[in-house]
Structures are given as C-alpha cells and as structure tokens.
Amino acid sequence: MHPVRETIIGNIDSFIQQEVPSIELGRVTDEGARLIRDSGMVRMLQPKQYGGFEADPREFYQTVIELASKASSLGWVGSVVGVHPFQFGQGDPRMQEEVWGADHDTWTASPYAPIGRARRVEGGYLLSGQWPFSSGTDHCKWAVLGGLAEREGGEAGAFTELMHFVLPRADYEILQDSWNVMGLQGTGSKDVLVQDVFVPNYRTYNVQALNDCEYAARHRPESVLYRIPFDLFFPGAISAATLGIAAGVVNHFAEYTGSRVTRMGVKQTQNPYHMASLGAALADIDASCQHVLNEIGDIYKLVQAGGKVTREMKYKARVNQVRAVRRAAEAAAEVFKHAGGNASRVSNPIQRTWRDLSVAMGHACNVDDPVYAAYAGTLYGIPVPRGVVI
C-alpha cells in the first residue's frame, strides 16, 4: 500500500469530519485542504524533481476511491486537483519551475472544456472565456483552461486548434456565487473568468500532442508514468472518484440497514429482498472498482516494460471506465430504492451521497452512451465522432 493511501486511511475520521462543514461552506474547508495537502495525495503524480512520488497510477486511483467513499467532496477535489500534476509534469520546464519552484505543494485547478477563445499574438495568445466547474479552485494558485485557438498561419478569427492554457491566480477571477448545486457542494467547483489575458507559448499545450505523449517524450523521457496518454488517465481519475462516491452510497445503506427496524418491528436484516439488493450492490461495486483498477494497472505494466499504449487500448480503457461507473451507479440506485422514507431526510448521509453521485454522473467523462457507440464503431473502422470523450 502506498504511504499516501495508508495515511488517508489512518486519518479517515478527520476527513469525514470536514465533509459537512465543506458542504455548508460551499468549498473544501481550510482544514480539509490541509488534510489533503499533508497526506501527499496531490503530489502522488507529481515529478520527483518537485517533491512528488511519480506513484503507480493504480495506487492513485485506489486512494481516490478510498477517500471519495468516505467524504465525497474531499475525494472529488483530491482526485481532480491530484491529477493535474500528471499533466503539468509533462509541460515546459519554465512553466514547471513557475508552478512548483517555490512551493512543491502548489495546487492547480482546471476545467478543460474548450470554452475559451485565444487569439495569436507575438510570443503567445490572448485568452478570454468563462469556464464552469473549477473544482477546488479556492485553494489553487494556478489553473489550466481549455480553449480553441487561432492556428499559426491560419485565418484570423478562425478558432480551430484545441489547446490548454496555464494561468497564475492573478490572471483569472473566481466567481464566488456560481456554485449552487444539489450535490458535491463541498467541492466549490466555481466558475472562473478570463478577459484578454496574455498566455506565453511555454504555458500552453496542444491537446493532440499531449494525448500522443509528445510533451512527455520531450520533457520527461526518463519517467515511465508520463507515457500513459492524458486522454486515458484523466477520465480514469474522474471514474475513480465517481466509483468511490457510489461505494459511499452502498456503504451508508449497509450501515443504516444494520440498525433499521420497520414500524411493524421487523429488522431489515431479516428482509430477503432488502438483503439481496445489498449483496448484489456490494458485488457490483467491487467488480466496477476492480475493472478500472486492473485496467490502469495493466497499462502501467505495459509502459514499464517499454510498450506503447495504442489507440485501440485507449478506446477499450475508456469504454471500460464508463461501463464500470454506470454499473456502480446502478448498484447504488438499487439499494437507494430500498432505503425507505427516512433516507430522504437531510440529516441522512445516504441521500446526501446519492445527490453527490447524481452530480458526479453528469461529468462529461462519465457520459456513457456516446462512448459505447463510438467504441463499437471503431470495430468497423468508423471514426470517433467529434466531441466524444474517448
């Protein structure tokens, strides 16, 4: 077991205690952020050069699942903020030094949705846009934002190149009242606003080159971890957090069931249908977690042995990620049906975690039907449709 995961498990009660205060605050509390920071979770995928672990990605996913199953919002932020060093570690050395040179525990936010528009200027771009869903953003000093840019030598005003742009906190505004949602309230996934900010070339990524591991080959050729494509790794981190939250629904239900007695004086542990739904859900949650963990474990072994992740492997990994998440969500839905009216009370953690799961399932990386269709299409040589996250 990785020492970070061991630390989180050993202090899990402290993490749990910060979940409800985070929800009430609308972001992870300062104490919750300290717990995540001190555990080393956000440095698991960070380069060793900057105090990171360059950890086995299976261990990172498993750590995310463990934390999210106990504290949804903290687990989600730990996952999303924790996966960014995987990308930043592949970037231009000047950018890495700016981000981590003075503080190895610097947090970075996103989102990656290509909402921004970037005009080419000498030495870089002028970026503008407003992005929703910047998880953990109040505790972050940098952000990486998705957008479409003018191509070099292309027509002015034709935004066609998919890019990521890295900005320091001074260059964007957090819209504090923008996170009003029914679940995952404690993540503080607020909007960020950028208005005609200059981003130098060395703080940008061409998304296709990132997905093809070109930056890793250029800047981290000695590091095996970064040979895994970003468009496989990042969705897997979202899957891991969502799987953890689904496990949390089932675990809360199991705990509630142990002491629940109907008005007729019947223990729910004696209800065969109730117990059957719980048994099936536990099996499906475990199968879903193992599906995602084993997939990333096999991919990591492949790159460790000098192999290369093919496009077909990425497609297979993505369809397995969304299928595992859907299976876990359906398992959680099945037990929620048996939870009874009291589970809907605001004080009951079952309903709270169920709402967290519902919001997590709306993430673009968890939308499953387009991925199923695109994956099936690849078997017949049909190109993946534009916009499908596979």
Residue ranges, the chain, pLDDT below 70:
262-266
Residues 280/331, Cβ–Cβ less than 8 Å: yes
Task: Taking the CA atoms of 322, 325, 327 and 330 in sequence, report the sign of the dihedral they define.
Answer: negative
Strand segments, DSSP code E, in the chain are 108-109, 116-121, 124-134, 142-150, 159-168, 173-175, 190-200, 204-206
Which amino acid is residue 208, in one-letter code?
Answer: Q
Q: Name the CATH code of domain 3-100 (choices 2.60.120.920, 2.30.30.30, 1.10.540.10, 1.10.287.70).
A: 1.10.540.10
Residues 267/361, Cβ–Cβ less than 8 Å: no
What is the per-residue pLDDT for 265? 67
User: Going by C-beta distance under 8 Å and a sequence separation of 6 or more, which residues neighbour residue 138?
Assistant: 27, 28, 174, 188, 190
The residue among 105, 196, 205 whose CA lies nearest residue 165 is 205
8-state DSSP, 98: H
Helix pair angle (349-360, 230-259), 10° resolution: 160
Terminal-to-terminal C-alpha distance of the chain: 30
Burial class (CB in 10 A: 0-12, 13-18, 19+), 140: buried
8-state DSSP, 267: B
What is the per-residue pLDDT for 387? 80
Residues 25/73, Cβ–Cβ less than 8 Å: no
188 — alpha (psi -120 to 50), left (phi > 0) or beta? left
Query: What does the domain layout of the chain look like in residue ranges?
Result: 3-100, 108-204, 228-378
Burial letters for 148-179: b for 16+ Cβ neighbours within 10 Å, e otherwise?
bbbeeeeeeeebebbbbbbbeeebbebbeebb
Beta bridge partners of 143: 109, 167
Task: Taking the CA atoms of 339, 341, 344 and 348 in sequence, report the sign of the dihedral they define.
Answer: negative
Tokens of 15: 């993490």
- Determine the Cα–Cα distance for residues 254 and 81; give it in Å rounded to an integer: 30
- CATH class as words, domain 228-378: mainly alpha
What is the per-residue pLDDT for 266? 66
- Total-model pTM: 0.96
The residue among 132, 113, 137, 52 whose CA lies nearest residue 86 is 52
CB count in 10 Å sphere of residue 119:
14
3-state secondary structure 286-328: HHHHHHHHHHHHHHHHHHHCCCCCCHHHHHHHHHHHHHHHHHH
Query: HSE on the CB side for 306, CA within 13 Å?
Result: 0
CATH 3.30.2130.10 is held by the domain 108-204: no
Which amino acid is residue 294, in one-letter code?
Answer: N
Helix pair angle (311-337, 230-259), 10° resolution: 20
